[in-house]
Amino acid sequence: MKCRVCGKPANINLRSYKTALCEEDFIAFLEKRVSATIGKYRLIDEADRPIVAVSGGKDSLSLWYMMNKLGYVSDGIYIDLGIEGYSERSLEKVRQMADTLRRRVYVFHVRNALQKGIDGVARVIRRPTCSACGTIKRYIMNRVCIDKGYTVLATGHNLDDEASALFGNVLYWKREYLWKKNVVLEGRGEHLVKKIKPFFLCSEREIAAYAIMKGIDYIYEECPYSEGAKTLVYKEMLNRIEESSPGTKIMFVKGYLKMLKEKGDEKEDGRESRYCLRCGYPTFSDKCSFCWLLDKFGTEYDVEFDQYN
């Protein structure tokens, strides 16, 4: 099997694109596609100051690396969930990348805020661990942008993530979520920052190959609380379809984006946004979910970030 561009032995076969590429041309191919995605969907403007949400995994670290390589100079935000062993190893990978890029990374420690790791938080509030994690991450990622002056938050969600989430929303007709999946979520007012997904159309396999080829040192183990998640089942089902019909996932997501664009303003849920009485950030009730957690644990903690580099 030879590279379609240069004729050298190919390192990867991209069945979705009916092409095979060597390492050098694959790297150029993926970076060009991400750059095109950023441009086509207007993810980052010249005046923007982006920051990347990093977890220590291949997707977020590859995104952080690639954005800086493409000229979108960006810092990072890492949320330490307090998962014994796993969080420490993840943070070490993040720090290594920060050193490589010579960029700053902000670190938020859940234990400092709530005196417990994410598993302990979930037990106290009697919610699934992933639900508690999502509540904290959404607030903190937005908060660091506002507090530190960043205008765009980039996350490493890839094609497989988006296709599986979309599949689940369609399968159960979750209308409240169905129209909220997009490559970009515009900010609102002074307290909600713009969120983007530059890897939206890049498969997990492609990003893993990129990380290995570029020598990106990431944590291979999955979050211990991801086991049994429905999205993993959806990913497996979509992978089976993709195997027999290459290109299905990207057509599924692109078709959704086209429909979303045609639907336009109808996707708004109509709920009136208010402001949290404690922190002043947008919420749909008197108190935002994060401040509710702070009150639940009886802490007067004000959001603080450690800074590395």
Q: What is the pLDDT of residue 247?
A: 96
Tens-digit pLDDT profile for residues 23-60? 999 999 999 999 999 999 999 999 999 999 999 999 99
Beta bridge partners of 108: 79
Domain positions in the chain: 37-265+274-308
Average pLDDT value for residue range 239-248: 97
Contact between residue 107 and residue 306 where contact means Cβ atoms under 8 Å apart: yes
* Residue 62: pLDDT over 60: yes
Paired tokens of 86: 């796993």
Q: What is the pLDDT of residue 268?
A: 52
The CATH superfamily label for domain 37-265+274-308 reads: HUPs (3.40.50.620)
Q: What are phi and psi of 231, to 5 degrees?
A: -60, -30
Mean pLDDT of the chain: 93
* Residue 110: pLDDT over 60: yes
Q: What is the pLDDT of residue 301?
A: 76
Average pLDDT value for residue range 216-239: 93
Q: Which residue has the higher pLDDT, 246 or 263?
A: 246
Q: What is the pLDDT of residue 182?
A: 82
CA distance 301 to 295: 10
Q: What is the pLDDT of residue 189?
A: 79
Dihedral sign from CA coordinates of 73, 184, 142, 192: positive
| C-alpha distances in Å from residue 3, one per residue of 163, 285, 307 | 28, 56, 43
Contact between residue 60 and residue 105 where contact means Cβ atoms under 8 Å apart: no
Average pLDDT value for residue range 168-180: 85
Per cent of the chain over pLDDT 90 is 82
Least confident residue range of 45-59, 64-78, 149-163, 248-262: 248-262
Q: What is the pLDDT of residue 151?
A: 97
Q: What is the 3-state composition of the chain as percent helix, strand, coil, each rounded to the nearest 5?
A: 50, 15, 40
Q: What is the pLDDT of residue 300?
A: 80
Q: What is the pLDDT of residue 270?
A: 55
Q: What is the pLDDT of residue 29?
A: 98
Place of tokens 């919420």: 283
Q: Which residue has the higher pLDDT, 243 or 180?
A: 243
Q: What is the pLDDT of residue 46?
A: 93
140-174 in b/e form (b: 16+ CB < 10 A) is bbbbbbeeeebbbbbbbbbbbbbbbbbbbbeeeee
Pick the closest to residue 64 from 143, 47, 56 (CA basis): 56
Q: Which residue has the higher pLDDT, 234 or 176?
A: 234
CA distance 55 to 308: 15
Contact between residue 249 and residue 163 where contact means Cβ atoms under 8 Å apart: yes
Confidence of residue 183 (pLDDT cuts 50, 70, 90): confident
Tens-digit pLDDT profile for residues 262-289? 876 554 555 667 899 999 998 988 999 9
